[in-house]
Amino acid sequence: MVLVNFKCYLEATGDRAVQLAKYAEQVSKKFDVTVAVAPQTADLRLVSQQTKIPVFAQHIDPIKPGSGTGHVLAESVLEAGACGVLINHSERRLEAGIIEDTVTRARGLKLTTVVCANTSAIAAAVASLGPDMIAVEPPELIGSGIAVSKAKPEIITDTVSRIRRINSDVVILTGAGITSGEDVKEALRLGTQGVLVASGIVKAKNQAAAIEDLAGACRQVGK
Amino acid sequence: MVLVNFKCYLEATGDRAVQLAKYAEQVSKKFDVTVAVAPQTADLRLVSQQTKIPVFAQHIDPIKPGSGTGHVLAESVLEAGACGVLINHSERRLEAGIIEDTVTRARGLKLTTVVCANTSAIAAAVASLGPDMIAVEPPELIGSGIAVSKAKPEIITDTVSRIRRINSDVVILTGAGITSGEDVKEALRLGTQGVLVASGIVKAKNQAAAIEDLAGACRQVGK
Amino acid sequence: MVLVNFKCYLEATGDRAVQLAKYAEQVSKKFDVTVAVAPQTADLRLVSQQTKIPVFAQHIDPIKPGSGTGHVLAESVLEAGACGVLINHSERRLEAGIIEDTVTRARGLKLTTVVCANTSAIAAAVASLGPDMIAVEPPELIGSGIAVSKAKPEIITDTVSRIRRINSDVVILTGAGITSGEDVKEALRLGTQGVLVASGIVKAKNQAAAIEDLAGACRQVGK
Amino acid sequence: MVLVNFKCYLEATGDRAVQLAKYAEQVSKKFDVTVAVAPQTADLRLVSQQTKIPVFAQHIDPIKPGSGTGHVLAESVLEAGACGVLINHSERRLEAGIIEDTVTRARGLKLTTVVCANTSAIAAAVASLGPDMIAVEPPELIGSGIAVSKAKPEIITDTVSRIRRINSDVVILTGAGITSGEDVKEALRLGTQGVLVASGIVKAKNQAAAIEDLAGACRQVGK
């Protein structure tokens, strides 16, 4: 699985979010690999309507329907077409209790949860909170173009090992610095089930080529 | 002006957000009164596309395009059709510096800013930060059904007076507990230029009738 | 072990913090039981100087020495006589990453860490972060006078079981609603090694008697 | 007036906080100038007991006595000997509503309030909240060694002018980058009544000489 985090890049906002999601959809079909996208909240519905790939919100708050001006209600992203949520990204870190509450809220609505973790200890901690997926992202490599799977493979293997002692089901994604198919292959070899990628695709001169490179690598390993 | 804050009410989420915005649009035309709406972020584009009334975001972050996973980029709500933003609601209070930064960011994109203030002192403080509008909302009356314009008219007049010493241009809205046309008339008589309303309309048994009552009152005073 | 959280009660501020700590010291000697106290930051040095029992800070920030106006530097509480820190109390919840950073910072200075957890899932999560102690405190029972060890014993046993699968060394404290020696005995029977108590002692008409009741119960079970 | 913010520098923690405060006291007597200090919370009582100069807390929370684990109660710093509080420093920015609540809480206990402001707009905003003093500190100059009074005098004069239109009584301090007596003289010439200084004194090779230079300059201008 490749999950593309659109962050707040203009190259992946509004119409350009749709364009990028369509590239992801084409590649997904071509290689028969799951390519999911996480556009900004304001773009969730647009992207969901115009593509058939899985769409994730970049954040939700664990509030219930009612007041809560300015927060992101789980039901609102669900109705907008999201099938899951990404939370606790290093750019939007959450209180431990809020992570638990959000995972619970999302599960109640059958939204898939991807919880980001900066370190292997946090990944292990998060594994106790019952998310569907954990994305391991050393923050010093985010946006660096240096793949964690190459620069610090021991972080990935250590994290996988720590998570598995606690939670045998959770899907593990490798994040931070992923830019090439080689990075993806390495991430899969190290025992994770996919990658979380952002600038490596969003900021690529050729987004379509970049996403094809990554998804193609998944396909080759998958065979 | 009547600004309807949809908050995170299910009665104003997704398709129901569109329905409520259409009621607002009909009433706006009927009485030639500005009725604006503030739906959730995920619903901004849908509501903007299906109505022609002013649409406000309930929150934006003052970040620039780039990283910022899980935040609300000003450009994203603008491209989704919003013409303004509501910030610092008592359910989403912001640091003073963030209010200034957000007003500046919004102004750069020609997004109208409505800054909420809990007290007359905060309203006066906010007036120094240069927003387009200030909404005065004593939090103890929010959602109470008791209109601030009736229960505590001196808060409104005191606030208007304090704001005007600092800022002669800013539009002042009365919020908290507004449920009827009478409340609106009183708010306008006290020197404010409109109302910010949420549960009084969103949770009304008959949303269309409720919004008609409020907008109609604006019209009568305006004559 | 009995850890008394002074919170921000006036009955445990300044000179009254010293008085309460002296009661704790007397009882500690009488029963040969560890009774530790967690006064407010401003009272740490005073309490440390006037008693010989373990003194915990109620919070530290994981910042390094330098700037950081208004934060609590680990070195400052250490130099003030604290031997440990309490963090992530339900009244001061922290981001998951901050908990890890704080535990690491404290360990570097040999400050004992007590991390509070609202639920068994959070307790298990926290166990992965390597604290010295975990205090389990269902927030709905805090200050209630209803002991978690009586009202919800299964929360305690479930939590102990979940923590032990991950971490065999961490000391587990039962918190929330503890007011009597019976509550303490029950907490120890359920497999925890001590209690975290606040209003049950601080707000007692007779603080000395209350603390004696709790510490005496520890002693009886310890035999 | 010279207010020395000790921040979280080790050079101004514990015993070294007392030493630095004693230098301040000596200089204060020598020049008959008010030199106040803002040590860390854990050092407030120690510094208050060993010197007779005004002692400010670096932060308080606007909570009332009671629960509030890990927060800073106004009464606790008052009983520890503080006569005032510094809030909203750019290293600890607060919600607008929290600033108002904290000023109100402090006033109720006759604690002097110094509210920091990053910009002239925030300074003007804060002036509406009724603090005793406002410290103007462009964050880009904090710790830079480049005095705002020299580098950006127009920020100071503009800020003074904006504050005075709203509040004629508040004492205005110049902060950020102050390191020499010349900087102080310039700050006073620009219409402010004192300086807020941190690294310029705390990190000086000779703290005593640094503080003497600054306070001496106040004296010369004062004549």
Q: How confident is the model over A180-198, as pLDDT tens digits?
A: 998 899 889 999 999 999 9
pLDDT of A148 over the 80 cut: no
Task: Characterize B77-107 residue by residue with b for buried, 16 or more Cβ atoms within 10 angstroms of its Cβ, and e for exposed.
Answer: bbbbbbbbbbbbbbbbbbbbbbbbbbbebbe
pLDDT of A101 over the 70 cut: yes
Could you tell me which residues are beta bridge partners of residue C117? C136
Does the beta-carbon distance from C127 to A128 stay under 8 Å? Answer: yes
Instruction: Report the gap between the CA of D179 and the closest CA in chain B (Å).
Output: 26
Determine the Cα–Cα distance for residues D3 and D22; give it in Å rounded to an integer: 14
Name the DSSP letter for residue D91.
T
Is C100 inside any structural domain? yes
Query: Which of A98-107, B69-78, C189-198, D19-28 has the least mean pLDDT?
Result: C189-198
pLDDT of residue C222: 57
pLDDT of residue C223: 52
Residue of A99, A130, A165 with shortest CB distance to C96: A99
Residues of B in contact with A77 (CB under 8 A): 42
More reliable by pLDDT, C55 or D220: C55
- Kindly indicate the confidence band of residue A154, based on its pLDDT and cuts at 50, 70 and 90: confident
Determine the Cα–Cα distance for residues D188 and D171; give it in Å rounded to an integer: 12
Instruction: Report the gap between the CA of B136 and the closest CA in chain D (Å).
Output: 13
Beta-carbon count within 10 A of D110 CB = 9
State the CATH number of the domain containing residue B207: 3.20.20.70
CA-CA distances (angstroms) from residue D66 to C76, C175, D63, D69, D105? 24, 17, 8, 9, 15
Residues of B in contact with A140 (CB under 8 A): none
Taking the CA atoms of B104, B106, B112 and B116 in sequence, report the sign of the dihedral they define.
negative
Residue of A13, A87, A92 with shortest CB distance to B76: A13
Q: Which residues numbered 21-80 in B keep a CB inside 8 Å of some CB on D?
A: none
pLDDT of residue D222: 57
- Kindly indicate the confidence band of residue B34, based on its pLDDT and cuts at 50, 70 and 90: very high
Chains that touch C (3 or more CB pairs under 8 A): A, D
pLDDT, tens only, B101-157:
999 999 999 999 999 999 999 999 999 999 999 999 887 776 777 777 777 788 889
Could you tell me which residues are beta bridge partners of residue A117? A136
pLDDT, tens only, D104-148:
999 999 999 999 999 999 999 999 999 999 999 887 776 777 777
In B, minimum Cα distance to A199 occurs at B67
Does the beta-carbon distance from A125 to C130 stay under 8 Å? Answer: no
- Give the up-direction half-sphere exposure of residue D65: CA atoms within 13 A in the CB hemisphere: 15
* CB contact B145 to A (< 8 Å): no
Is C90 inside any structural domain? yes
List the A171-175 sheet strands across, edge first. A35-38, A2-5, A194-197, A171-175, A133-136, A112-117, A84-87, A56-57
What average pLDDT score do residues A49-65 get? 98
pLDDT of residue C102: 98
Determine the Cα–Cα distance for residues A93 and A104; give it in Å rounded to an integer: 17
Structure tokens at B20: 């409520």
Beta-carbon count within 10 A of D70 CB = 26
* Structural domain count, chain A: 1
Determine the Cα–Cα distance for residues C176 and C174; give it in Å rounded to an integer: 7
Determine the Cα–Cα distance for residues D1 and D7; give it in Å rounded to an integer: 18
Plot region of A7 (φ>0 → left; ψ -120 to 50 → alpha; else → beta)? left
Does the beta-carbon distance from C69 to D58 stay under 8 Å? Answer: yes
Percent of chain D with pLDDT over 90: 83
Residues of A in contact with B9 (CB under 8 A): 65-67
What average pLDDT score do residues D198-205 get? 94
Q: Which residues numbered 175-204 in C keep a CB inside 8 Å of some CB on D?
A: 198-199
Question: D166: domain range?
Answer: 2-222
Which residues are CB-neighbours of C146 under 8 A, at least 6 positions away?
A: C177
